[in-house]
Amino acid sequence: MRPQNSMKQTKLSPFIYFLSLTLLILSTSSLTMARQNKPLPGAERPELYLEQLQGKRIGIVANQTSILTHSENKHVVDFLLEKGVVVKKVFVPEHGFRGQADAGEKVDNSVDAKTGLPIISLYGNNKKPKPEQIQDLDILIFDLQDVGVRFYTYISTMHYLMEAAAENGKKVIIFDRPNPNGSYIAGPVLKEGFESFVGMHPIPVVHGLTVGELAQMINGEKWLKGGLKADLEVIPVGNWNHSTPYNLPVKPSPNLPNDLSIKLYPSTCFFEGTIVSLGRGTHFPFQVYGYPDPKFGDFTFTPVSIDGMSKNPPHQDKKCFGVDLRGESMMHEFTLKYLIDAYQKSGKGQAFFNNYFNTLAGTDQLKKMIMEGKTEAEITASWKVDLDKYKELRTKYLIYN
């Protein structure tokens, strides 16, 4: 019996081998196709930048979002070091290198435990690299995942990096990344006199640019101090355009924990300039809003101190009543309806707003129109001329369709 069984097995072996080989080829082909179709951030296209980095002294602006997803989420700093690139120091934005600092929290200079590289904060009192911090560098790389909203401060960090580079004769390379809110443009355009770290450029709230495209606009429109232009190169994203959906593999900051929060962020961040909580102190920030008064809504939540997210949230330990937005569509786009709803329910008039609101809005007209009882349609119509001008300007700097 054994010899017969052995003979049967021998006859089947070529078929099994062929089937296994076919499945392996199909599996490998599917994986290759998936990688070809998936957006490739600039950092994941080393063939476009590695050669020019060899033998150069590199400084890089990076944080927890600076990863190569096709290489098991390897951090870009680790990748560059493995490839023999001389990385001298790491600069970090708001929220720090590992992205665990709360909004506005002080980020100190330190040393990365894994690589031993010095980490220099570009937040707080040192938003712009000092000449002595970059004098020993040849190239400055910027690789941060932005969310496409004017008051998200990573683009302000990029501005100051470009400015320091231009003043000190250093090259800037942007490792571009997809914009998860890059398919549309909305909101008021920032007016002169309202510039701040949460709004440095005359662009709308939702600007419809990647950081690479915005860097080209900053250069081209001479928005750097003194009209300087940085020696700039953008490593573009592959397999992506402005209509391509993009799910972020890593949360870009502690209080944007998921894709829906990023979609809602342009609309709900305005609550930072009001008495209303937008959910800081919960595990669903920017996805709810409320106030310690039942007239604001039926949904309830209680903000508490959460280390690594929000240590001192507004209305801490108070029961807030309001609206739960977690059922909103992932197709959500900027709207004023939440803000107007909360304002009308409050009955507080001017006291609804704080001094930060106009800074976020980039204009004093939005608050005035809300207080005058204007509808969302009337308010957004008032932006049309400025938005049309911006859209025309934007076309000059687009890298992607």
378-393 pLDDT per residue, tens: 999 999 999 999 999 9
- The model's pLDDT over 349-366, given as tens digits with 9 standing for 90+, comes to 999 999 999 999 999 999
Q: What is the pLDDT of residue 91?
A: 95
d(CA 156, CA 176): 15
d(CA 356, CA 8): 80
Structure tokens at 192: 């002169």
Per-residue pLDDT, averaged over 281-296, amounts to: 98
Poorest-pLDDT segment among 9-18, 56-65, 223-232, 254-263: 9-18
Question: Which neighbouring-strand residues pair with 199?
Answer: 196
What confidence category does residue 183 fall into, taking pLDDT thresholds of 50, 70 and 90? very high
d(CA 183, CA 244): 8
Average pLDDT over the chain reads 90
Question: Which neighbouring-strand residues pair with 59?
Answer: 89, 140
Buried b (16+ CB within 10 A) or exposed e, 111-130: ebeeeebebbbbbeeebbbe
pLDDT at residue 11 tops 50? no
d(CA 211, CA 301): 35
Q: Are 321 and 299 in contact (CB under 8 A)?
A: yes
pLDDT at residue 247 tops 50? yes
Q: Are 393 and 217 in contact (CB under 8 A)?
A: yes
d(CA 276, CA 345): 11
Q: Does residue 202 sit in helix, strand or coil?
A: coil
Q: Which amino acid is at 323?
A: V
Per-residue pLDDT, averaged over 307-315, amounts to: 94
Structure tokens at 80: 């560059």
CA atoms within 13 A on the CB side of 112: 23
Q: Are 249 and 68 in contact (CB under 8 A)?
A: no
- Cα–Cα distances in angstroms (integers) from residue 204 to residues 16, 279, 292, 299, in the given order: 61, 24, 32, 31
pLDDT at residue 52 tops 70? yes
Q: Which amino acid is at 203?
A: I
Poorest-pLDDT segment among 118-132, 144-158, 326-340: 118-132
Q: What is the pLDDT of residue 19?
A: 52
Q: Using the Cα atoms of residue 229, residue 90, residue 182 and residue 277 in order, give the sign of their dihedral.
A: negative
Per-residue pLDDT, averaged over 168-188, amounts to: 98
The residue behind tokens 């309202």 is 194
Which residues 6+ apart lie within 8 Å of 352 measured at CB? 274, 275, 276, 342, 343, 346
**Higher-scoring residue by pLDDT: 237, 6:** 237
Q: Are 143 and 66 in contact (CB under 8 A)?
A: yes
What confidence category does residue 108 fall into, taking pLDDT thresholds of 50, 70 and 90? low
Share of the chain above pLDDT 90, in %: 82
d(CA 250, CA 189): 29
Share of the chain above pLDDT 70, in %: 88
Q: Which range, 85-94, 119-128, 235-244, is most confident?
A: 235-244
Q: What is the pLDDT of residue 110?
A: 78
Number of H helices, E strands in the chain: 12, 12
Q: What is the pLDDT of residue 377?
A: 98
pLDDT at residue 154 tops 70? yes
What confidence category does residue 125 fall into, taking pLDDT thresholds of 50, 70 and 90? confident
- The model's pLDDT over 323-349, given as tens digits with 9 standing for 90+, comes to 999 999 999 999 999 999 999 999 999
What confidence category does residue 287 fall into, taking pLDDT thresholds of 50, 70 and 90? very high
What confidence category does residue 115 fall into, taking pLDDT thresholds of 50, 70 and 90? confident
d(CA 161, CA 141): 9
Domains along the sequence of the chain with CATH: 42-235 (3.40.50.12170), 259-362 (no CATH)
Q: What is the pLDDT of residue 65?
A: 95
What confidence category does residue 20 fall into, taking pLDDT thresholds of 50, 70 and 90? very low
pLDDT at residue 50 tops 80? yes
Q: Which amino acid is at 343?
A: Y
Among candidate residues 107, 54, 367, the one with its CA nearest the CA of residue 253:
107
Structure tokens at 291: 């106030």
pLDDT at residue 134 tops 70? yes
Q: How many CB atoms lie within 10 A of CB 202?
A: 19
